[in-house]
Amino acid sequence: MTLLTHYRALLEGYIDAKDHTRPERIADVFASDAILTFSLATTNIAFPARTVGAEAIAKTLVIDFGAQYSQCMTWYVCDDLRVDDDGCVTVPWLVVMREPAARTLRVGNGHYRWTFGSLDATPRVTAFHIHIARMDVVADPDARLVETLQQGLSYPWLTPRELRERFGAIAMQEPALRFVEGFAEPALPPSVS
């Protein structure tokens, strides 16, 4: 297995854990002493700034998250993975989910920065930074809008082109979802062009 293939499997393990509320999968992805950090450019969602340890990460990103949100689907929005000079992988993401208590659709994006441990027999994520660039909240009493947005998108790997085409078409056809045009481009960190 190549290094990028292994990293890709770890990233897929994280999505499986979070989107399907499987906290036990976090130990397959993160080192026991991994560090999770957040930066938020929105007030529409909140997380602790820093969480330490795989068990605490599972509680924050899977158990607590899954108790508040449902029908969650998260996509990596990229053509391929690239490892930077520091040995990290930065990848844009998109999330479409429902907050049942508020009967709302939530659409968010940002980027993840993954740092991996030493290349021993089973490397794990040692640091994970989540930047949330945007999180829009829209009334969706019957969950129709969340289902509309999630249909027809490759999961969990989504090319920027597919995202643009799908969200562009939805924005034209569905007045309540016109705002998704703002999500049609991946949310890249400032240093990535």
Report domain extents, the chain: 3-183
Q: For 164-177, what is each residue's pLDDT tens digit?
A: 999 999 999 999 99
Q: Where would I find the beta strands (DSSP E) of 17-87?
A: 30-40, 50-52, 70-77
Q: Which CATH number fits domain 3-183: 3.40.50.150, 3.30.1050.10, 3.10.450.50, 3.60.40.10?
A: 3.10.450.50
Rounded CA separation 46/34 (Å): 20
Q: pTM of the full predicted structure?
A: 0.94
Query: Residue 1 above 80 pLDDT?
Result: no
Residues in Cβ contact with 100 at an 8 Å cutoff, skipping those fewer than 6 apart:
69, 70
